[in-house]
């Protein structure tokens, strides 16, 4: 399938689901979206696969003064991933890292409660996990998510995204059982450049998407 861009996250999720149909109708599959932008994509995938959906909250640790550049990430379950190359090159102190972790830990817990009503990692032991985001730039967030998931010993972990940077794909592919990417452009500057509509999702919208989908905590 030749894809050059996506109308919005819903469109991206519909196209992505088409590449995952071998997992449709199975009772050992769960789809996890990374908030916020990955949730509408994940909900579309889950709908097409007739699978339950949940969220896995991961927070990027932004560089002081340049928040868009990740010096690492944290995820549910106490997982912490630090980009040592970025930390060394920028001379980031341990105290700065710890302050960022403390700040983002509070936000991580707030989002878990807002989206799921409780904290913690979804039950995934012995399940096939399809981890979905709206795109991957550096890969730090998804790397933290994968490490959080591995703690629960799933049967398989599949990363599925509409678009991703080639460097990030090269880093992540050895970490998972399968990597599904529809668009992997050489000239990758940002995830949003491959979407016609890339408006920021709100907490309320995330909650609405999840409410309309089949929750992982209840029978389908």
Residue predicted with more confidence, 37 or 62: 37
Contact between residue 105 and residue 74 where contact means Cβ atoms under 8 Å apart: yes
> Could you tell me the pLDDT band of residue 148, with boundaries at 50, 70 and 90?
confident
Architecture in CATH for domain 9-57+117-212: 3-Layer(aba) Sandwich (3.40)
In the predicted structure, residue 162 carries a pLDDT above the cut 60: yes
In the predicted structure, residue 167 carries a pLDDT above the cut 60: yes
Closest by CA to 82, choosing from 101, 107, 104, is 101
**CATH 3.40.50.2020 in the chain, residue ranges:** 9-57+117-212
Name the residue with tokens 């579309």: 44
pTM: 0.87
**How far from the centroid of its chain's Cα atoms is residue 50's Cα?**
20
Closest by CA to 122, choosing from 146, 149, 143, is 149
Closest by CA to 70, choosing from 158, 13, 145, 5, is 145
E-assigned strand segments in 65-122: 66-75, 79-82
CA distances from 24 to 18, 44, 121 (A): 10, 13, 23
Q: What is the pLDDT of residues 50-109, one digit of tens each?
A: 999 999 998 889 888 887 677 888 988 788 888 888 899 889 999 999 999 999 999 999
Residue predicted with more confidence, 21 or 215: 21
Cα 181 to Cα 14: distance, rounded to the nearest angstrom: 13
């Amino acid at each position: 399938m030749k894809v050059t861009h996506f109308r919005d996250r819903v469109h991206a999720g519909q196209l992505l689901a088409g590449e995952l149909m071998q997992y449709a109708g199975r009772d050992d599959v769960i789809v996890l979206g990374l908030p916020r932008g990955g949730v509408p994509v994940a909900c579309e995938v889950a709908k097409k696969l007739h699978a339950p959906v949940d969220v896995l909250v991961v927070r990027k640790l932004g560089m002081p003064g340049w928040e868009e550049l990740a010096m690492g990430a944290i995820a549910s379950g106490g997982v912490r991933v630090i980009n040592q190359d970025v930390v060394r090159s920028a001379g980031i102190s341990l105290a700065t890292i710890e302050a960022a972790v403390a700040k983002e830990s509070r936000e991580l817990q707030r989002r878990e409660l807002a989206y799921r009503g409780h904290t913690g990692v979804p039950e995934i032991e012995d399940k096939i996990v399809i981890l979905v985001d709206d795109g991957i730039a550096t890969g730090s967030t998804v790397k933290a998510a994968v490490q959080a998931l591995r703690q629960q010993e799933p049967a398989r972990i599949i990363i599925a995204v509409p678009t991703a940077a080639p460097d990030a794909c090269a880093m992540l592919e050895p970490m998972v059982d399968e990597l599904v990417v529809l668009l992997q452009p050489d000239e990758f500057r940002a995830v949003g450049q491959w979407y016609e509509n890339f408006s920021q999702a709100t907490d309320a919208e995330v909650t609405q998407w999840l409410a309309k989908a089949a929750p992982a905590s209840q029978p389908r």
